[in-house]
């Protein structure tokens, strides 16, 4: 029986980190920006897009408090690509990667709104960033991951927020590779 051993880098390349900025945190909220970051060929890759509100979304759900956090103005999203176009590009960028987020419960809601259908409990699964991180790393590599993330406060923009988390993974991955290269070979 042949067993395939997957490197940590190859395992991490199966994931894309997801983040949204939204109109508010209410149940009626809708996404205004989406971002994805992943590790590919030893580098962090990021894609993001603003999202023009869908005609079915209630514009009254716009929260000035949320806008003050993410810094995105209504006029910016009114000129953004529409939901169907962003959803197609999201799916193209995601490819076969598995989604990861540091706030899956919120991201699931906004992903459903972006895709135009309820992803539901049996649909798209969004893994929890901490759970994936603890499954992939331990010891000092895990410390480096979280130190890297904590040293860069979240900018509250979807692309940079996901890139921040992916850079933490990359830092931990590089440390793990150094340790593996120094281990005695049998």
- Phi, psi (rounded to 5 degrees) for 80: -80, 165
Query: Structurally, how many domains does the chain consist of?
Result: 1
Domain CATH number, residue 112: 3.30.420.10
User: What's the predicted TM-score (pTM) here?
Assistant: 0.90
The β-bridge partners of 127 are 100
3-state SS of the chain: helix, strand, coil percent to 5? 50, 20, 35
Specify if 75 maps to a domain: yes
Q: How much is the pLDDT for 3?
A: 42
Find the largest Cα–Cα distance for the chain.
65
Let me know: does 36 contact 17? Beta carbons within 8 Å.
yes
Q: How much is the pLDDT for 116?
A: 87
Give dist(CA 29, CA 31) in Å, integer. 7
Which residues of the chain are under the pLDDT cut of 50? 1-5
Specify if 62 maps to a domain: yes
DSSP element (H, E) containing 22 = strand 15-22
Q: How much is the pLDDT for 124?
A: 75
Specify if 139 maps to a domain: yes
Beta strands in 78-125 (DSSP E): 98-101
- Residues 21-32: pLDDT tens digits? 999 999 999 999
Q: How much is the pLDDT for 57?
A: 95
Give dist(CA 14, CA 3) in Å, integer. 19
Let me know: does 146 contact 168? Beta carbons within 8 Å.
yes
Specify if 31 maps to a domain: yes
Specify if 3 maps to a domain: no
Let me know: does 100 contact 132? Beta carbons within 8 Å.
yes
Q: Quote the domain boundaries for residue 84.
A: 8-181
Specify if 1 maps to a domain: no
- Residues 38-55: pLDDT tens digits? 999 999 999 999 999 999
């Amino acid at each position: 029986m042949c067993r395939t051993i997957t490197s940590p880098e190859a395992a991490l390349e199966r994931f894309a980190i997801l983040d949204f900025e939204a109109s508010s945190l209410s149940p009626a909220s809708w996404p205004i920006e989406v971002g994805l970051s992943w590790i590919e060929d030893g580098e962090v890759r990021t894609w993001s897009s603003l999202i023009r509100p869908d005609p079915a979304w209630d514009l009254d759900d716009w929260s000035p408090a949320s806008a003050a956090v993410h810094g995105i103005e209504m006029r910016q999203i009114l000129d953004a690509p529409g939901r169907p176009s962003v959803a197609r590009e999201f799916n193209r960028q995601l490819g076969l990667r598995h989604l990861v987020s540091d706030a899956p419960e919120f991201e699931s809601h906004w992903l459903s709104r972006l895709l135009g259908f309820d992803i539901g409990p049996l649909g798209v699964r969004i893994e929890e960033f901490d759970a994936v991180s603890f499954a992939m790393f331990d010891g000092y590599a895990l410390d480096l991951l979280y130190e890297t993330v904590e040293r860069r406060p979240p900018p509250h923009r979807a692309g940079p927020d996901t890139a921040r988390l992916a850079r933490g993974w990359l830092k931990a991955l590089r440390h793990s590779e150094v340790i593996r290269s120094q281990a005695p070979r049998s």
